[in-house]
Structure 1
Amino acid sequence: MTEAVEYDVVVLGGGPAGENIVDRTRAAGLSTALVESELVGGECSYWACVPSKALLRPVLARAEARRVPGLSAAVQGPLDTAAVLAHRNHWVGDWKDQGQIDWIDSTGADVYRGHGRLYGVRKVAVTSPEGEHHVLSARHAVVVATGTRAVVPDLPGMAQARPWTSREATSAQQAPGRLLIVGGSVVGCEMATAWQSLGSQVTLLARDAGLLPRMEPFAGELVADALRAAGAVVRTEVAVESVVRDGPTGPVTVVLKGGERLEGDELLMATGRAPRTDDIGLDTIGLPAGKWIEVDESCRVPGHDWLYAVGDVNHRALLTHQGKYQARIAGAAIVARAEGGTADTGPWGAHAATADTRAVPQAVFTDPEAAAVGLTLAEAERAGHRVRAVDYDLSKVSGAGLYADGYRGRARMVVDLDREVLLGATVVGPGAAELVHAATVAVVGEVPIARLWHAVPAFPTISELWLRLLEAYRG
């Protein structure tokens, strides 16, 4: 190894969380190095949030336009799949990260390309693609922001079948004729929505009783109904036992429990995520490799006052916006401690991540969109809260009818009856993703129901649903 190069902060992983650490520490004048083994910008920029939204936006825009009188007749034809894919390619920079590198350079941070591993206390060893070796030493903090990877179950024939993961599903350059999707959570539902509309015949297979199992049950029901109406096959409570690929480029067959066989041209396994911690040197500091990294509320690793973990890798909330939030918290804590203070000092007060455990917003860009924040009814009851769920049919909101003919959707708020504040809310319907932040503010701020009466929604918007929910709560 070469002689160590010293920085105030070394960041291992250049996705959104890592980039936000760089932003915060450099703004405070701390010297910072960023280590990235693939593309600076990470999973979200190239294989997840950005490309999936680029694929889905034309799908949702066409679906909504088809429900608008005077416009519907003009948008009955198929999508221009080639144009959609080209637009997606543009948004991911054709999988080149020069734009992100330029931004890092503008902050004054240094980028090291290559595989980084912890090399004992406050040190990171980097091996570049060309075989060069560097050792980076951190005066104040090393931050692990290596994210997650897709999990593919070890079923008979799976390795030989060469299934898609979310990466292939968001970067494919043509629509497969028949796409089998295993997994009924966010990735499975969004990719089913996208590729069914881009020319594939989609069959979605879910292990659970419904889709989107971490949301209110009605969210998965409405999404499943819409997928079926679009021509997709949706099956729940099914299990895949083995997979067979016919030759290098032939069709793929999944064998279900009970022996039924389903054939497709490609197979997407949307079956979960695992932390990318198996080869980053955790063992050199006494932590288990391949596991999620436990952190405190400032995202510091207990027992290691110099080590932080932000984003998916700490398993608090596997969402890009929550990883960026954690990075802002951790960055502020690192700066405060580097200046001789504590995580309780600084211009923003206490540097503690709390929104990633009790008020996590999420948007699923299916048709209809599904958005939620906080606890579902079942989660609130399991946590021991005395609660009441209030539901409302979104089609009865004036703004919904003006938004689109035949608007179909549903909303629910979960109220803590002892404190009369919102613990959670779910909205499903066209445009629902833009409604969730209002609910997030109410949940995070613990705004009393009595005060929410005075948050008057503009007429005629779909946001009027909050008035209708409050009326239903009052009875």
Structure 2
Amino acid sequence: MTTTSDVAAFDVIVIGAGPVGENVADRAVQGGLSVAIVERELVGGECSYWACMPTKALLRSTAAVRAAQRLPGAREAVTGGLDTAAVLHRRDNFASHWKDDGQVSWLQQAGITLYRGQGRISGPRTVDVPDSTGDGNGTVTLTARHAVVVATGTSALVPDVPGMAAAAPWTSREAATAHTVPARLAVIGGGVVAMEMATAYAGLGSVVTVLARDGVLPTAEPFAGERVTETLEKTGVSIRVGAEAHAVRRDDTGTVHITLADGEQVEADELLVAIGRRPNTTDLGLEAVGLTPGAWLTVDDTLRVLDAHGGPVGDGWLYAAGDVNRRVLLTHQGKYQARAVGDLIVARARGAHVDDRAWGRHAVTADERAVPQVVFTEPEVASVGLTAAAATEAGLRVRIVDHDLGAVAGAALHADGYDGHARMVVDEDRKVIVGFTLVGPDVAELLHAATIAITAEVPLDRLWHAVPAFPTLSEVWLRLLETYERPA
């Protein structure tokens, strides 16, 4: 029998203590509100332990070796193979060895109260959490004076393919945390996670086969997927565009057998499924407030959750930030949303009237037009804003401006045989950039300049006065502007 053992009141309750939930809570506390945060797993969330940090740690060592091999003198110094154990140990350090002591300490110092367990909404402004004290059968009921924020993120989507569940495939979590490198790895998917992990494990010595039904990086500019495909295939990765798994079986020896639609068999020691994400809303008690468990949470531009009729739930007390609202499934954009929603809650708690887009920087707009993303493949893909196809589909009159990044003086100095490409998409009616994509070694650090140009809607004639330093890769900005001025 479950009994209520305690009741606690706070100004704000946040469900989910990943980067998004932490930022909401921190912003609200800084605004003078009391905050409780509820977490069922590790404080710090997916990014800290199973995604951004450990995966980039896996990728970095092989990227450093490749960079050295592109430079005479440095190339000769690289005489040994990659130390896989050292790479995995460094990865473990970045994941804090899957312990959240440091993150919990930060919550305490920030004045945020932590409750561990699965938080469930039981009514307006009310969240129930299992009581970790006593016999474990009780419940702590938390009440919020002002707001409840759902920041529970997403989990890997695993397709309903015959035999898939019994074969115990890897998801992004297992790929990020594995302590042995499989001799053969098959990857289902062609998106960011699939291609980054194909890059990582190929660098660590696996024979990798990618089954990319919908292509490689299908939402990026086409040249991005083409260049990643070309480079990975040169390293021995087999990429099967259009291939679709129809059945999966793991035999008694541990070998995974994947039957494709055409009957071909692919064998591997491990299978990674990376085809998308699903919202962590199944066990949140959404039905208590008229919402559908397991569904994405639709929000307005101040991140209030909307009901089936398109209005705020109740009087607008329920918010959703980060991946769970499906606006943009990226950590940095979730943290951007978190800062906005934390400030909005504080403002409303103080009696301010806040309408969508009517409250300056706190209406969430950047995740519509200026979303930056880096894919840490070989080569890197860095993009922000719209692709040419998306801009055209949005009804813009666009001009596409391309330039060979390898022809920039800074690229030649950066690495012998530097191979890269840059594209800016210009809205011809307003003469501003609406999309920017870079492909090449170490292009990630070039991206923020493009993000600023798109977010601030800097006119092209003003960008001429932003003189890039010579000789750096940033000189590509000058070359793109020169290309734009030539007749189309």
Q: Distance between the aligned counterparts of 2:141 and 2:374, measured in 1?
A: 40
Instruction: Give how far 1:114 is off.
Output: 0.3
One of 81, 101, 109 as aligned partner of 1:78: 81
Residue 67 of structure 2 is aligned to residue 64 of structure 1: yes
Aligned to 1:331: 342
Which residue number corresponds to residue 417 of structure 1?
Answer: 428
- Give the match's secondary structure for 1:211: coil
2:362 alignment partner, SS class: coil
- Say whether residues 1:44 and 2:47 are aligned partners: yes
Q: Which residue of 2 aligns with 1:106?
A: 109
Distance 1:459 1:71 in 2: 23
**1:216-247: CA deviations, max 9, x gaps?**
01111111111111111111111110101002
Q: 2:412 aligns with which of 392, 396, 401?
A: 401
For 2:353 and 2:263, the matched residues in 1 are separated by 60
**Structure 1 position 128, deviation (Å):** 4.8
Assess if the C-alpha contact under 8 Å between 2:433 and 2:457 holds in 1: yes
Report deviation, 1:350.
4.7
Q: Deviations over 1:80-108 (max 9, x none)?
A: 00000000001111100000000000011
Note the alpha carbon deviations across 1:115-159, whole angstroms, 9 max, x for none.
100010000001256444211000000000000000000110011
Matches within 5 A, 1:159-238: 159-208=165-214, 210-238=215-243
Residue 255 in structure 1 maps to residue 259 in structure 2: yes
CA RMSD of aligned residues (A): 1.2
- Greater mean deviation of Cα atoms: 223-232 or 316-325: 223-232
Contact persistence 2:152–2:324 (CA under 8 A)? yes
Per-residue CA shift, 1:34-75, capped at 9, x if unaligned? 000000000000000000011011111111111011101222
Counterpart contact for 2:120–2:283, Cα < 8 Å: yes
Q: Which amino acid aligns with 1:298?
A: T
Q: Which amino acid aligns with 1:416?
A: D
In structure 2, the residue matched to 1:318 is 329
CA deviations 1:310-344 (Å, max 9, x no partner) are 00000000000000000000001000000111336
CA contact (8 A) 1:344 1:351 kept: no
Which residue of 1 is the match for residue 353 of structure 2?
342
Aligned to 2:5, the other structure's residue is in SS state coil
The one-letter code matched in structure 2 to 1:214 is T
The CA distance in 2 between the partners of 1:256 and 1:74, in whole Å, is: 44
Q: Is the 8 A contact 2:302 2:355 kept in 1?
A: no
Q: How far apart are the structure 2 equivalents of 1:77 and 1:218?
A: 33
Matched, 1:242 2:247: yes
Does 2:35 align with 1:32?
Answer: yes
SS of corresponding position for 1:447: coil
Tell me whether 1:16 sits opposite 2:27 in the alignment.
no
Deviation at 1:438, TM superposition (A): 0.6
Distance 1:65 1:128, change over 3 A: farther
For residue 399 of structure 2, what is the aligned residue in structure 1?
A: 388
**Structure 1 residue 4: Cα displacement:** 2.2
CA distance in 1, matches of 2:76, 2:201: 23
The match for 2:148 is: 142
The amino acid that maps onto 1:183 is G
1:451 to 437, 456, 462: 462
Cα separation, 2, equivalents of 1:355 and 1:317? 10
Query: Which sits farther off after the overlay, 229-238 or 92-101?
Result: 229-238
Is 1:378 matched with 2:382? Answer: no
What is the SS of the residue equivalent to 1:35?
strand
Give 3-state SS (helix, strand or coil) of 2:294's partner. coil
Return the alpha-carbon distance in structure 1 between the equivalents of residues 361 and 422 of structure 2. 34
State the distance in 2 between where 1:358 and 1:278 align.
30
Contact persistence 1:147–1:276 (CA under 8 A): yes
- Name the CA shift for 1:131/1:84 in 2 (closer, same or farther; >3 Å): farther
- Quick check: 1:333–1:342 contact (8 Å CA) kept in 2? no
Letter in 1 for 2:209: T
Q: 1:294 aligns with which of 294, 298, 304?
A: 298
Residue ranges of structure 1 left out of the alignment (5+ in a row): none
Q: Write out per-residue CA displacement over residues 244-281 of structure 1, whole angstroms, 9 at most, x where no aligned residue.
A: 1002x510011000100010000000110000011101
- Return the offset for 1:28: 1.3
Q: Deviations over 1:178-217 (max 9, x none)?
A: 0000101000100011011111111111012x31111101
Amino acid at match of 1:138: A
> What is the aligned-residue identity percentage?
58
Q: Say yes or no: does 1:467 pair with 2:478.
A: yes
3-state DSSP of counterpart to 2:200: helix
SS at match of 1:290: coil
1:74 aligned partner, one-letter code? A
Higher mean alpha-carbon deviation, 179-188 vs 297-306, is at 297-306
Contact 1:145 1:313 in 2 (8 A): yes
Structure 2 letter corresponding to 1:310: A
Q: Is the 8 A contact 1:35 1:112 kept in 2?
A: yes
Alpha-carbon separation, structure 1, partners of 2:6 and 2:208: 54
Say if 1:179 and 1:267, in contact at 8 Å, map to a contact too.
Answer: yes
State whether structure 2 residue 282 is matched by structure 1 residue 271.
Answer: no
- Give 1:177's aligned amino acid: A
Alignment deviations for residues 353-397 of structure 1 (CA, whole Å, 9 cap, x no partner) = 111111100001111100100000000111111001111111100
Q: Is the 8 A contact 2:5 2:138 kept in 1?
A: no
Q: Which amino acid aligns with 1:325?
A: Y
Give the Cα separation in 1 of the matches to 2:302 and 2:143. Answer: 22
Structure 2: distance between partners of 1:270 and 1:161: 15
CA distance in 2, matches of 1:371, 1:462: 13
Instruction: Determine the structure 1 residue equivalent to 2:309.
Output: none
The unaligned stretches of length 5 or more in structure 2 are 307-311
What TM-score comes out, normalization by structure 2 length?
0.95
**CA–CA distance in 2 between the matches of 1:29 and 1:362?**
33
Q: Does 1:126 align with 2:120?
A: no
Matched-pair contact (CA < 8 Å) for 2:67–2:415: yes
Asked if the contact 2:39/2:115 (under 8 Å) is kept, the reply is yes
Please report how far the alpha carbon of residue 3 of structure 1 lies from its aligned counterpart in structure 2 after TM superposition: 4.1
In 2, distance between residues paired with 1:132 and 1:86?
40
129-138 vs 193-202, which moves further: 129-138
Q: Structure 1 stretch 293-302 or stretch 109-118: which is displaced more?
A: 293-302
**1:92 correspondence with 2:103:** no
Query: 1:405 and 1:343 mapped to 2: Cα distance?
Result: 54
Partners of 1:159 and 1:411 lie apart in 2 by: 41
> Which residue does the alignment assign to 1:430?
441
3-state DSSP class of the match of 2:119? strand
